Structure 1
Protein backbone atom coordinates (compact mmCIF):
# COMPACT_ATOMS: atom_id res chain seq x y z
CA UNK A 1 0.00 0.00 0.00
CA UNK A 2 1.26 3.49 -0.80
CA UNK A 3 0.07 7.04 -0.20
CA UNK A 4 0.44 9.89 -2.70
CA UNK A 5 -0.38 13.42 -1.54
CA UNK A 6 -2.35 15.05 -4.37
CA UNK A 7 -3.35 18.21 -2.49
CA UNK A 8 -2.73 19.27 1.10
CA UNK A 9 -3.74 22.93 1.42
CA UNK A 10 -6.12 23.65 4.27
CA UNK A 11 -9.56 25.24 3.83
CA UNK A 12 -8.80 26.54 0.32
CA UNK A 13 -6.22 25.88 -2.42
CA UNK A 14 -2.87 27.51 -1.73
CA UNK A 15 -0.40 28.98 -4.23
CA UNK A 16 1.51 25.69 -4.34
CA UNK A 17 -1.14 23.09 -3.63
CA UNK A 18 -4.68 22.03 -4.31
CA UNK A 19 -6.98 21.44 -1.36
CA UNK A 20 -7.22 18.09 0.40
CA UNK A 21 -6.84 14.95 -1.71
CA UNK A 22 -4.87 11.76 -1.12
CA UNK A 23 -4.40 8.81 -3.45
CA UNK A 24 -4.06 5.39 -1.81
CA UNK A 25 -3.03 2.45 -3.98
CA UNK A 26 -2.34 -1.22 -3.42
CA UNK A 27 -1.70 -4.21 -5.66
CA UNK A 28 -3.69 -7.41 -5.26
CA UNK A 29 -2.34 -10.96 -5.55
CA UNK A 30 -2.82 -10.88 -9.33
CA UNK A 31 -0.81 -7.66 -9.73
CA UNK A 32 -3.81 -5.43 -10.40
CA UNK A 33 -3.43 -1.94 -8.90
CA UNK A 34 -6.44 -0.64 -6.95
CA UNK A 35 -6.83 3.11 -6.45
CA UNK A 36 -8.88 4.98 -3.86
CA UNK A 37 -8.93 8.75 -3.45
CA UNK A 38 -9.52 10.14 0.01
CA UNK A 39 -11.26 13.47 -0.59
CA UNK A 40 -11.16 15.56 -3.77
CA UNK A 41 -11.03 19.21 -2.79
CA UNK A 42 -10.77 22.38 -4.86
CA UNK A 43 -8.24 22.05 -7.65
CA UNK A 44 -7.29 18.43 -6.91
CA UNK A 45 -8.45 16.87 -10.18
CA UNK A 46 -5.65 18.62 -12.07
CA UNK A 47 -2.68 17.18 -10.16
CA UNK A 48 -4.45 13.84 -9.69
CA UNK A 49 -3.87 13.28 -13.43
CA UNK A 50 -0.10 13.27 -12.82
CA UNK A 51 -0.43 10.00 -10.92
CA UNK A 52 -2.75 8.07 -13.21
CA UNK A 53 -6.00 8.20 -15.12
CA UNK A 54 -8.89 9.52 -12.97
CA UNK A 55 -11.17 7.37 -15.13
CA UNK A 56 -9.47 4.31 -13.64
CA UNK A 57 -10.28 5.07 -10.00
CA UNK A 58 -11.96 2.28 -8.06
CA UNK A 59 -13.54 4.49 -5.38
CA UNK A 60 -13.61 7.93 -3.81
CA UNK A 61 -13.97 8.20 -0.04
CA UNK A 62 -15.21 11.55 1.27
CA UNK A 63 -14.48 12.48 4.88
CA UNK A 64 -17.06 15.27 4.96
CA UNK A 65 -18.84 17.67 2.63
CA UNK A 66 -17.02 20.99 2.93
CA UNK A 67 -15.87 22.31 -0.45
CA UNK A 68 -12.15 21.98 0.29
CA UNK A 69 -12.71 18.22 0.50
CA UNK A 70 -15.33 17.58 -2.20
CA UNK A 71 -15.52 20.47 -4.71
CA UNK A 72 -13.71 18.71 -7.57
CA UNK A 73 -16.21 15.86 -7.53
CA UNK A 74 -18.26 18.10 -9.84
CA UNK A 75 -15.55 18.25 -12.51
CA UNK A 76 -14.66 14.58 -12.03
CA UNK A 77 -18.24 13.86 -13.06
CA UNK A 78 -17.80 15.99 -16.18
CA UNK A 79 -14.57 14.18 -17.07
CA UNK A 80 -16.19 10.79 -16.64
CA UNK A 81 -19.29 11.59 -18.66
CA UNK A 82 -17.95 13.62 -21.57
CA UNK A 83 -14.53 12.08 -22.29
CA UNK A 84 -14.12 11.19 -26.00
CA UNK A 85 -13.70 7.49 -25.22
CA UNK A 86 -17.28 7.41 -23.93
CA UNK A 87 -19.03 7.69 -20.60
CA UNK A 88 -18.00 5.39 -17.78
CA UNK A 89 -20.14 3.27 -15.49
CA UNK A 90 -20.90 4.75 -12.05
CA UNK A 91 -17.92 5.22 -9.75
CA UNK A 92 -18.22 4.03 -6.18
CA UNK A 93 -18.38 7.01 -3.80
CA UNK A 94 -18.40 6.65 -0.02
CA UNK A 95 -19.48 9.60 2.08
CA UNK A 96 -21.62 10.98 4.90
CA UNK A 97 -25.39 11.35 4.85
CA UNK A 98 -26.24 14.10 2.35
CA UNK A 99 -23.52 13.28 -0.18
CA UNK A 100 -25.93 12.89 -3.12
CA UNK A 101 -27.53 16.29 -2.45
CA UNK A 102 -24.15 17.94 -1.95
CA UNK A 103 -22.84 16.66 -5.29
CA UNK A 104 -25.98 17.94 -6.96
CA UNK A 105 -25.49 21.35 -5.38
CA UNK A 106 -21.84 21.55 -6.42
CA UNK A 107 -22.60 20.62 -10.00
CA UNK A 108 -25.55 22.93 -10.46
CA UNK A 109 -27.58 19.71 -10.89
CA UNK A 110 -25.67 18.87 -14.05
CA UNK A 111 -26.64 15.25 -14.76
CA UNK A 112 -22.94 14.47 -15.24
CA UNK A 113 -22.63 14.40 -11.46
CA UNK A 114 -25.87 14.63 -9.57
CA UNK A 115 -27.61 11.50 -10.82
CA UNK A 116 -26.55 7.91 -10.32
CA UNK A 117 -25.22 7.97 -13.88
CA UNK A 118 -21.65 8.73 -12.81
CA UNK A 119 -21.53 8.18 -9.04
CA UNK A 120 -22.89 5.27 -7.06
CA UNK A 121 -23.04 6.78 -3.58
CA UNK A 122 -22.87 4.68 -0.44
CA UNK A 123 -23.36 6.22 3.01
CA UNK A 124 -20.76 5.69 5.70
CA UNK A 125 -21.97 3.65 8.64
CA UNK A 126 -19.80 3.78 11.77
CA UNK A 127 -18.41 0.35 12.55
CA UNK A 128 -19.07 -1.04 9.07
CA UNK A 129 -15.96 -1.61 7.00
CA UNK A 130 -15.89 -1.31 3.23
CA UNK A 131 -13.71 -3.43 0.95
CA UNK A 132 -12.15 -2.07 -2.24
CA UNK A 133 -9.93 -4.74 -3.75
CA UNK A 134 -7.13 -5.47 -1.25
CA UNK A 135 -8.00 -2.37 0.80
CA UNK A 136 -10.35 -2.20 3.78
CA UNK A 137 -11.78 1.21 4.73
CA UNK A 138 -13.22 1.85 8.18
CA UNK A 139 -15.06 5.15 8.80
CA UNK A 140 -14.68 6.65 12.28
CA UNK A 141 -16.86 9.61 13.37
CA UNK A 142 -14.87 12.68 14.42
CA UNK A 143 -15.69 16.17 15.73
CA UNK A 144 -16.33 18.94 13.19
CA UNK A 145 -19.16 21.46 12.64
CA UNK A 146 -20.82 19.10 10.13
CA UNK A 147 -20.94 15.27 10.08
CA UNK A 148 -17.38 14.12 9.49
CA UNK A 149 -15.36 10.93 9.47
CA UNK A 150 -11.75 9.92 9.63
CA UNK A 151 -10.85 6.81 7.68
CA UNK A 152 -8.59 3.89 8.60
CA UNK A 153 -7.29 2.19 5.46
CA UNK A 154 -5.81 -1.28 5.89
CA UNK A 155 -4.00 -3.18 3.15
CA UNK A 156 -0.90 -5.13 2.18
CA UNK A 157 2.51 -3.69 2.94
CA UNK A 158 4.45 -2.42 -0.06
CA UNK A 159 7.57 -4.30 1.04
CA UNK A 160 5.89 -7.49 2.26
CA UNK A 161 2.38 -8.13 0.88
CA UNK A 162 1.87 -10.84 3.49
CA UNK A 163 1.99 -8.14 6.18
CA UNK A 164 -0.94 -5.79 6.83
CA UNK A 165 -0.41 -2.07 7.38
CA UNK A 166 -2.75 0.77 8.37
CA UNK A 167 -3.03 4.36 7.19
CA UNK A 168 -5.20 6.55 9.44
CA UNK A 169 -6.58 9.74 7.87
CA UNK A 170 -8.05 12.27 10.30
CA UNK A 171 -10.16 14.25 7.85
CA UNK A 172 -11.04 17.50 9.66
CA UNK A 173 -11.44 17.18 13.42
CA UNK A 174 -10.51 18.46 16.83
CA UNK A 175 -9.19 16.12 19.53
CA UNK A 176 -11.84 13.50 20.26
CA UNK A 177 -12.24 9.78 20.99
CA UNK A 178 -12.63 9.14 17.26
CA UNK A 179 -9.22 10.65 16.53
CA UNK A 180 -7.68 8.44 19.20
CA UNK A 181 -9.34 5.38 17.68
CA UNK A 182 -7.94 6.33 14.27
CA UNK A 183 -4.42 6.82 15.58
CA UNK A 184 -4.27 3.61 17.62
CA UNK A 185 -1.37 1.47 16.38
CA UNK A 186 -1.44 3.14 12.93
CA UNK A 187 1.60 2.75 10.72
CA UNK A 188 0.96 6.29 9.48
CA UNK A 189 -1.33 8.96 10.92
CA UNK A 190 -2.18 11.56 8.27
CA UNK A 191 -3.53 14.37 10.45
CA UNK A 192 -4.71 17.85 9.69
CA UNK A 193 -3.09 20.75 11.54
CA UNK A 194 -5.00 23.84 10.47
CA UNK A 195 -4.84 25.77 13.74
CA UNK A 196 -1.99 27.33 15.73
CA UNK A 197 -1.51 27.08 19.48
CA UNK A 198 -2.30 30.38 21.24
CA UNK A 199 -3.80 32.07 18.20
CA UNK A 200 -6.76 29.72 17.76
CA UNK A 201 -7.34 28.41 21.29
CA UNK A 202 -10.87 29.87 21.40
CA UNK A 203 -11.90 27.85 18.33
CA UNK A 204 -12.62 24.31 19.49
CA UNK A 205 -14.52 21.49 17.82
CA UNK A 206 -13.24 22.38 14.35
CA UNK A 207 -9.53 21.66 13.69
CA UNK A 208 -6.35 20.36 15.23
CA UNK A 209 -3.17 22.22 15.98
CA UNK A 210 0.18 20.60 15.33
CA UNK A 211 0.49 19.91 19.04
CA UNK A 212 -2.89 18.21 19.29
CA UNK A 213 -2.08 16.10 16.22
CA UNK A 214 1.20 15.12 17.90
CA UNK A 215 -0.60 14.25 21.12
CA UNK A 216 -2.98 11.95 19.24
CA UNK A 217 -0.06 10.23 17.51
CA UNK A 218 1.69 9.77 20.85
CA UNK A 219 -1.39 8.42 22.64
CA UNK A 220 -2.11 6.03 19.79
CA UNK A 221 1.52 4.99 19.40
CA UNK A 222 1.32 5.74 15.69
CA UNK A 223 4.57 4.85 14.01
CA UNK A 224 4.68 7.92 11.79
CA UNK A 225 2.88 11.27 11.63
CA UNK A 226 2.32 13.35 8.49
CA UNK A 227 0.81 16.81 9.00
CA UNK A 228 -1.52 18.14 6.33
CA UNK A 229 -4.33 20.67 5.70
CA UNK A 230 -2.14 23.64 6.69
CA UNK A 231 -3.71 26.87 5.34
CA UNK A 232 -1.64 29.23 3.21
CA UNK A 233 -1.75 31.89 5.94
CA UNK A 234 0.06 29.57 8.40
CA UNK A 235 3.77 28.84 8.59
CA UNK A 236 4.03 25.04 8.16
CA UNK A 237 7.20 25.04 10.26
CA UNK A 238 5.11 26.15 13.24
CA UNK A 239 2.80 23.14 12.91
CA UNK A 240 5.82 20.87 12.63
CA UNK A 241 7.48 22.34 15.70
CA UNK A 242 4.28 22.06 17.72
CA UNK A 243 3.86 18.40 16.78
CA UNK A 244 7.42 17.64 17.87
CA UNK A 245 6.73 18.98 21.35
CA UNK A 246 4.20 16.18 21.86
CA UNK A 247 5.42 13.31 19.67
CA UNK A 248 8.97 11.99 19.44
CA UNK A 249 8.41 9.77 16.41
CA UNK A 250 8.92 10.53 12.72
CA UNK A 251 7.01 13.71 11.79
CA UNK A 252 6.74 14.98 8.21
CA UNK A 253 4.94 17.85 6.50
CA UNK A 254 2.75 16.84 3.57
CA UNK A 255 3.51 18.38 0.21
CA UNK A 256 2.08 17.71 -3.25
CA UNK A 257 3.64 14.63 -4.77
CA UNK A 258 4.87 13.22 -1.47
CA UNK A 259 4.79 9.44 -1.92
CA UNK A 260 5.06 7.14 1.07
CA UNK A 261 5.20 3.35 0.76
CA UNK A 262 3.74 1.65 3.80
Structure 2
Protein backbone atom coordinates (compact mmCIF):
# COMPACT_ATOMS: atom_id res chain seq x y z
CA UNK A 1 0.00 0.00 0.00
CA UNK A 2 1.23 3.47 -0.92
CA UNK A 3 0.25 6.92 0.33
CA UNK A 4 0.79 10.08 -1.71
CA UNK A 5 0.07 13.51 -0.27
CA UNK A 6 -1.93 15.43 -2.88
CA UNK A 7 -2.88 18.27 -0.53
CA UNK A 8 -2.25 18.78 3.17
CA UNK A 9 -3.17 22.38 4.01
CA UNK A 10 -5.78 22.82 6.71
CA UNK A 11 -9.04 24.78 6.53
CA UNK A 12 -7.98 26.42 3.25
CA UNK A 13 -5.35 25.96 0.56
CA UNK A 14 -1.94 27.51 1.19
CA UNK A 15 0.76 29.02 -1.03
CA UNK A 16 2.43 25.63 -1.11
CA UNK A 17 -0.40 23.11 -0.93
CA UNK A 18 -3.96 22.29 -1.84
CA UNK A 19 -6.36 21.39 0.95
CA UNK A 20 -6.80 17.86 2.23
CA UNK A 21 -6.47 15.09 -0.35
CA UNK A 22 -4.59 11.81 0.01
CA UNK A 23 -4.07 9.16 -2.65
CA UNK A 24 -3.93 5.56 -1.41
CA UNK A 25 -2.96 2.82 -3.85
CA UNK A 26 -2.30 -0.90 -3.79
CA UNK A 27 -1.78 -3.61 -6.37
CA UNK A 28 -4.24 -6.47 -6.46
CA UNK A 29 -6.29 -8.82 -8.65
CA UNK A 30 -8.18 -7.16 -11.49
CA UNK A 31 -10.97 -9.74 -11.53
CA UNK A 32 -9.91 -11.05 -14.93
CA UNK A 33 -6.95 -13.19 -13.93
CA UNK A 34 -4.39 -10.36 -13.84
CA UNK A 35 -3.36 -7.60 -11.48
CA UNK A 36 -3.66 -3.86 -11.54
CA UNK A 37 -3.20 -0.80 -9.34
CA UNK A 38 -6.27 0.19 -7.31
CA UNK A 39 -6.58 3.86 -6.31
CA UNK A 40 -8.76 5.66 -3.79
CA UNK A 41 -8.78 9.26 -2.60
CA UNK A 42 -9.28 10.25 0.99
CA UNK A 43 -10.98 13.66 0.66
CA UNK A 44 -10.81 16.05 -2.27
CA UNK A 45 -10.44 19.57 -0.91
CA UNK A 46 -9.92 22.99 -2.44
CA UNK A 47 -7.24 23.02 -5.14
CA UNK A 48 -6.68 19.28 -4.92
CA UNK A 49 -8.06 18.20 -8.28
CA UNK A 50 -5.37 20.01 -10.24
CA UNK A 51 -2.66 18.61 -7.97
CA UNK A 52 -4.10 15.12 -8.38
CA UNK A 53 -3.37 15.26 -12.11
CA UNK A 54 0.35 15.09 -11.30
CA UNK A 55 -0.14 11.64 -9.82
CA UNK A 56 -3.13 9.92 -11.40
CA UNK A 57 -5.40 10.06 -14.42
CA UNK A 58 -8.78 10.50 -12.66
CA UNK A 59 -10.24 8.04 -15.18
CA UNK A 60 -8.36 5.36 -13.23
CA UNK A 61 -9.81 6.33 -9.85
CA UNK A 62 -11.74 3.56 -8.07
CA UNK A 63 -13.32 5.47 -5.17
CA UNK A 64 -13.44 8.75 -3.30
CA UNK A 65 -13.82 8.40 0.47
CA UNK A 66 -14.86 11.60 2.26
CA UNK A 67 -14.16 12.08 5.95
CA UNK A 68 -16.72 14.90 6.22
CA UNK A 69 -18.38 17.57 4.11
CA UNK A 70 -16.58 20.81 4.96
CA UNK A 71 -15.42 22.61 1.83
CA UNK A 72 -11.70 22.11 2.45
CA UNK A 73 -12.29 18.35 2.23
CA UNK A 74 -14.88 18.04 -0.54
CA UNK A 75 -15.20 21.08 -2.81
CA UNK A 76 -12.93 19.88 -5.64
CA UNK A 77 -15.24 16.97 -6.31
CA UNK A 78 -16.79 19.46 -8.74
CA UNK A 79 -13.70 19.12 -10.93
CA UNK A 80 -13.96 15.35 -10.81
CA UNK A 81 -17.62 15.60 -11.84
CA UNK A 82 -16.73 17.63 -14.94
CA UNK A 83 -13.80 15.34 -15.77
CA UNK A 84 -15.94 12.20 -15.66
CA UNK A 85 -19.12 13.59 -17.25
CA UNK A 86 -17.66 15.66 -20.08
CA UNK A 87 -14.40 13.92 -20.90
CA UNK A 88 -13.56 14.38 -24.61
CA UNK A 89 -13.01 10.64 -24.88
CA UNK A 90 -16.58 10.09 -23.69
CA UNK A 91 -18.28 9.88 -20.31
CA UNK A 92 -16.24 7.73 -17.95
CA UNK A 93 -19.13 6.31 -15.96
CA UNK A 94 -19.80 6.58 -12.23
CA UNK A 95 -17.13 6.21 -9.56
CA UNK A 96 -17.94 5.27 -5.96
CA UNK A 97 -18.17 8.19 -3.52
CA UNK A 98 -18.33 7.00 0.09
CA UNK A 99 -19.15 9.64 2.67
CA UNK A 100 -21.32 10.87 5.53
CA UNK A 101 -25.10 11.03 5.26
CA UNK A 102 -26.11 13.80 2.87
CA UNK A 103 -23.05 13.51 0.64
CA UNK A 104 -25.17 13.31 -2.51
CA UNK A 105 -27.07 16.48 -1.64
CA UNK A 106 -23.86 18.28 -0.72
CA UNK A 107 -22.26 17.41 -4.06
CA UNK A 108 -25.45 18.40 -5.89
CA UNK A 109 -25.31 21.79 -4.18
CA UNK A 110 -21.68 22.29 -5.14
CA UNK A 111 -22.36 21.38 -8.76
CA UNK A 112 -25.64 23.39 -8.78
CA UNK A 113 -27.64 20.33 -9.79
CA UNK A 114 -31.24 20.52 -8.63
CA UNK A 115 -31.88 16.93 -9.71
CA UNK A 116 -29.70 14.42 -7.85
CA UNK A 117 -30.12 11.92 -10.68
CA UNK A 118 -28.01 14.21 -12.87
CA UNK A 119 -24.99 13.06 -10.87
CA UNK A 120 -25.56 9.39 -11.69
CA UNK A 121 -23.35 9.59 -14.76
CA UNK A 122 -20.36 10.60 -12.61
CA UNK A 123 -20.90 9.17 -9.12
CA UNK A 124 -22.40 6.30 -7.18
CA UNK A 125 -22.99 7.43 -3.60
CA UNK A 126 -22.85 5.29 -0.48
CA UNK A 127 -22.93 6.26 3.20
CA UNK A 128 -20.44 5.36 5.91
CA UNK A 129 -21.77 2.67 8.25
CA UNK A 130 -19.65 2.31 11.39
CA UNK A 131 -18.51 -1.27 11.81
CA UNK A 132 -19.00 -2.06 8.14
CA UNK A 133 -15.98 -2.69 5.93
CA UNK A 134 -16.12 -1.51 2.32
CA UNK A 135 -13.82 -3.32 -0.09
CA UNK A 136 -12.24 -1.53 -3.05
CA UNK A 137 -10.07 -4.13 -4.72
CA UNK A 138 -7.43 -5.14 -2.15
CA UNK A 139 -8.19 -2.11 0.04
CA UNK A 140 -10.62 -2.37 2.95
CA UNK A 141 -12.07 0.85 4.37
CA UNK A 142 -13.74 1.25 7.76
CA UNK A 143 -15.20 4.50 9.13
CA UNK A 144 -15.19 5.59 12.79
CA UNK A 145 -17.39 8.53 13.94
CA UNK A 146 -15.21 11.22 15.54
CA UNK A 147 -15.67 14.60 17.22
CA UNK A 148 -16.21 17.59 14.93
CA UNK A 149 -19.00 20.19 14.54
CA UNK A 150 -20.47 18.23 11.58
CA UNK A 151 -20.73 14.44 11.11
CA UNK A 152 -17.14 13.33 10.60
CA UNK A 153 -15.26 10.06 10.38
CA UNK A 154 -11.75 8.77 10.84
CA UNK A 155 -10.88 6.31 8.08
CA UNK A 156 -8.97 3.07 8.60
CA UNK A 157 -7.62 1.53 5.40
CA UNK A 158 -6.19 -1.98 5.40
CA UNK A 159 -4.31 -3.39 2.43
CA UNK A 160 -1.33 -5.46 1.31
CA UNK A 161 2.19 -4.48 2.30
CA UNK A 162 4.60 -3.52 -0.46
CA UNK A 163 6.43 -6.82 -0.09
CA UNK A 164 3.17 -8.77 -0.09
CA UNK A 165 3.90 -10.57 3.15
CA UNK A 166 1.20 -9.09 5.39
CA UNK A 167 -1.63 -6.63 5.73
CA UNK A 168 -0.80 -3.06 6.75
CA UNK A 169 -3.00 -0.30 8.14
CA UNK A 170 -3.21 3.39 7.27
CA UNK A 171 -5.44 5.50 9.51
CA UNK A 172 -6.53 8.99 8.50
CA UNK A 173 -7.99 11.07 11.31
CA UNK A 174 -10.05 13.40 9.16
CA UNK A 175 -10.93 16.46 11.27
CA UNK A 176 -11.52 15.73 14.93
CA UNK A 177 -10.68 16.53 18.50
CA UNK A 178 -9.41 13.78 20.80
CA UNK A 179 -11.92 10.97 21.31
CA UNK A 180 -11.97 7.26 22.07
CA UNK A 181 -13.10 6.38 18.55
CA UNK A 182 -9.98 7.95 17.08
CA UNK A 183 -7.80 5.80 19.31
CA UNK A 184 -9.61 2.71 18.07
CA UNK A 185 -9.33 3.81 14.46
CA UNK A 186 -5.56 4.26 14.84
CA UNK A 187 -4.99 1.10 16.91
CA UNK A 188 -1.64 -0.45 15.86
CA UNK A 189 -1.68 1.51 12.59
CA UNK A 190 1.47 1.26 10.51
CA UNK A 191 0.96 4.91 9.54
CA UNK A 192 -1.30 7.39 11.33
CA UNK A 193 -2.06 10.41 9.14
CA UNK A 194 -3.29 12.80 11.80
CA UNK A 195 -4.62 16.34 11.63
CA UNK A 196 -3.11 18.94 13.94
CA UNK A 197 -4.73 22.21 12.97
CA UNK A 198 -4.67 23.77 16.44
CA UNK A 199 -1.80 24.88 18.67
CA UNK A 200 -1.60 24.60 22.44
CA UNK A 201 -2.14 27.88 24.38
CA UNK A 202 -3.52 29.56 21.25
CA UNK A 203 -6.58 27.56 20.20
CA UNK A 204 -8.55 26.75 23.33
CA UNK A 205 -11.95 25.83 21.87
CA UNK A 206 -12.64 22.08 22.04
CA UNK A 207 -14.55 19.67 19.87
CA UNK A 208 -13.10 20.80 16.54
CA UNK A 209 -9.42 19.99 15.95
CA UNK A 210 -6.36 18.38 17.50
CA UNK A 211 -3.20 20.14 18.57
CA UNK A 212 0.15 18.51 17.94
CA UNK A 213 0.27 17.56 21.60
CA UNK A 214 -3.15 15.88 21.49
CA UNK A 215 -2.27 14.15 18.21
CA UNK A 216 0.82 12.68 19.85
CA UNK A 217 -1.20 11.56 22.86
CA UNK A 218 -3.70 9.76 20.62
CA UNK A 219 -0.92 8.10 18.63
CA UNK A 220 0.75 6.86 21.80
CA UNK A 221 -2.51 5.51 23.22
CA UNK A 222 -3.25 3.74 19.94
CA UNK A 223 0.22 2.24 19.56
CA UNK A 224 0.62 3.75 16.09
CA UNK A 225 3.97 2.83 14.56
CA UNK A 226 4.51 6.05 12.61
CA UNK A 227 2.78 9.45 12.59
CA UNK A 228 2.47 11.99 9.79
CA UNK A 229 0.97 15.31 10.88
CA UNK A 230 -1.28 17.04 8.37
CA UNK A 231 -4.04 19.66 7.92
CA UNK A 232 -1.89 22.60 9.06
CA UNK A 233 -3.46 26.00 8.24
CA UNK A 234 -1.17 28.52 6.53
CA UNK A 235 -0.88 30.56 9.73
CA UNK A 236 0.59 27.64 11.71
CA UNK A 237 4.30 27.23 12.32
CA UNK A 238 4.93 23.55 11.46
CA UNK A 239 7.91 23.43 13.80
CA UNK A 240 5.69 24.34 16.76
CA UNK A 241 3.16 21.63 15.97
CA UNK A 242 5.93 19.07 15.42
CA UNK A 243 7.52 19.95 18.78
CA UNK A 244 4.18 19.60 20.56
CA UNK A 245 3.69 16.12 19.12
CA UNK A 246 7.16 14.90 20.02
CA UNK A 247 6.43 15.79 23.64
CA UNK A 248 3.76 13.06 23.78
CA UNK A 249 4.83 10.60 21.05
CA UNK A 250 8.24 8.94 20.93
CA UNK A 251 7.98 7.12 17.61
CA UNK A 252 8.82 8.22 14.06
CA UNK A 253 7.03 11.48 13.33
CA UNK A 254 6.98 13.60 10.16
CA UNK A 255 5.09 16.52 8.67
CA UNK A 256 3.03 16.00 5.54
CA UNK A 257 4.24 17.89 2.48
CA UNK A 258 2.72 17.97 -1.02
CA UNK A 259 3.82 15.10 -3.28
CA UNK A 260 5.49 13.19 -0.44
CA UNK A 261 4.98 9.41 -0.56
CA UNK A 262 5.15 6.57 1.92
CA UNK A 263 5.27 2.84 1.13
CA UNK A 264 3.88 0.53 3.78
Counterpart residue number, 1:17: 17
Cα deviation for residue 134 of structure 1 reads: 0.3
Question: Residues 114-129 of structure 1 correspond to what in structure 2 (within 5 A)?
Answer: 115-129=119-133
Task: Give the TM-score, by structure 2 length.
Answer: 0.96
Aligned length: 260
Structure 2 matches for 1:182-201, cutoff 5 A? 182-201=185-204
d(CA) in 2 for partners of 1:106, 1:239: 33
Once the 2 structures are TM-superposed, how far is the Cα of residue 88 of structure 1 from its aligned partner? 1.1
Tell me how far apart the structure 2 counterparts of residues 19 and 167 of structure 1 sit (CA, whole Å).
19
Is 2:179 the counterpart of 1:145?
Answer: no
- Relative distance call for 1:53 and 1:214 in structure 2 (3 A) is same
Please say if residues 107 and 113 of structure 1, whose CA atoms lie closer than 8 Å, have aligned partners that are also in contact: no
Question: Per the alignment, in what secondary structure is the counterpart of residue 77 of structure 1?
Answer: helix
Alpha carbons 1:154, 1:166 under 8 Å: kept = yes
**Corresponding residue of 1:168:** 171
**Structure 2 CA distance, aligned partners of 1:16 and 1:176?**
30
Q: Note the aligned Cα RMSD (angstroms).
A: 1.3
> SS in structure 2 opposite 1:102?
helix
The SS at the match of 2:142 is strand
Indicate how the Cα distance of structure 1 residues 111 and 86 shifts in structure 2: closer, same or farther if over 3 A, else same: farther
Instruction: After TM superposition, give the deviation of residue 162 of structure 1 in Å.
Output: 2.7
Q: Which moved more, 1:105-114 or 1:245-254?
A: 105-114
What is the distance in 2 between the residues matched to 1:186 and 1:156? 13
CA distance in 2, matches of 1:148, 1:218: 22
Normalising to structure 1: TM-score of the pair?
0.97
Match of 1:34 among 31, 38, 43: 38
